Structure 1
Amino acid sequence: MTGPNLALVLDDLAGKEGVIGYGALAQALAIPGPGSIAKLTAQLEALMLEDAAKGHPFRAALCRAKTGNGLPAKGFFEAAIRLGRFDGGDEAGFVAAERAALFKRAASR
């Protein structure tokens, strides 16, 4: 189970139609290093599991890797495949759709 801080930060970010780098998110959550990104990744994957169980868009889609044209890291796509929500095809299209659904959901709150 993830702590409420991660979900709250990502929900707030969705309301602003924003994205965030993994390092900045780890800092915002005050996740201690070394290994802060690995700890964050574990929390993000747990949150993806919760989102999938509820039929919600993946809040982890708001994360962007340093490389990858603003897309999440490879582990995001691997988790989405494991959870049956992504077929491994158009990564940019999948992320754009997830982000659009997150922004719409946040705007309707």
Structure 2
Amino acid sequence: MLADRVRQHLRTVAGSGAPIPYQALAEAMSLTPPNTIHRITVALEQLIEEDAVNQRPLIAALVVSKARGGLPAPGFFDCARRFGRLQGGDDTAAHASEVSMAAAYWRTD
């Protein structure tokens, strides 16, 4: 299942503490067109749901859009809010906090 492979890869990424772009994740998953980014976002939304339900930091926060200055796409915030996460008005601060928590929680040693 793609979501499981994405989580495993992001656990490795968490060790660096730096988010990666959607396209880099798609390439790491060896996805080919069409709809590569859509398949990544579907997997990330599944991970958001799993993490929110289990009260864990959102590993999906480690994936960002180059076009949004280091923030995830708006769908990340919409999905996180649907599951009661990232409440409040400052997306940049909320995301930075979530990245920090996710990197610490999910990194593999």
Backbone CA RMSD of aligned residues: 1.8
Q: Distance in 2 between matches of 1:66 and 1:104?
A: 23
- Secondary structure in structure 2 of the residue aligned to 1:67: helix
| Counterpart in the other structure of 1:64 | 64
1:7 and 2:7 correspond:
yes
Gaps of 5+ in 1: none
Gaps of 5+ in 2: none
TM-score (norm 2): 0.90
Runs of 4+ in 1 over 6 A off after TM superposition: none
| Counterpart in the other structure of 1:29 | 29
Whether the aligned pair in 1 keeps the contact of 2:64 and 2:70 (CA below 8 Å) is yes
- Secondary structure in structure 2 of the residue aligned to 1:10: helix
Task: Number of aligned residue pairs: give it.
Answer: 109
The superposition leaves residues 2-49 of structure 1 with CA deviations (integer Å, 9 ceiling, x where unpaired) of 542101111111112121110110010012211000011000000111
| Counterpart in the other structure of 2:84 | 84
Q: Distance in 2 between matches of 1:74 and 1:15?
A: 25
Post-superposition shift, 1:102? Answer: 1.4
Choose 61-70 or 20-29, whichever is displaced more. 61-70
Q: Distance in 2 between matches of 1:79 and 1:73?
A: 10
Q: Counterpart amino acid of 1:53?
A: V
Whether the aligned pair in 1 keeps the contact of 2:48 and 2:58 (CA below 8 Å) is yes
Q: Distance in 2 between matches of 1:106 and 1:42?
A: 20
Whether the aligned pair in 2 keeps the contact of 1:81 and 1:88 (CA below 8 Å) is no
Q: Distance in 1 between matches of 2:25 and 2:107?
A: 22
Whether the aligned pair in 2 keeps the contact of 1:14 and 1:62 (CA below 8 Å) is yes
Report which structure shows greater RCO (CA 8 Å, sep ≥6): 2
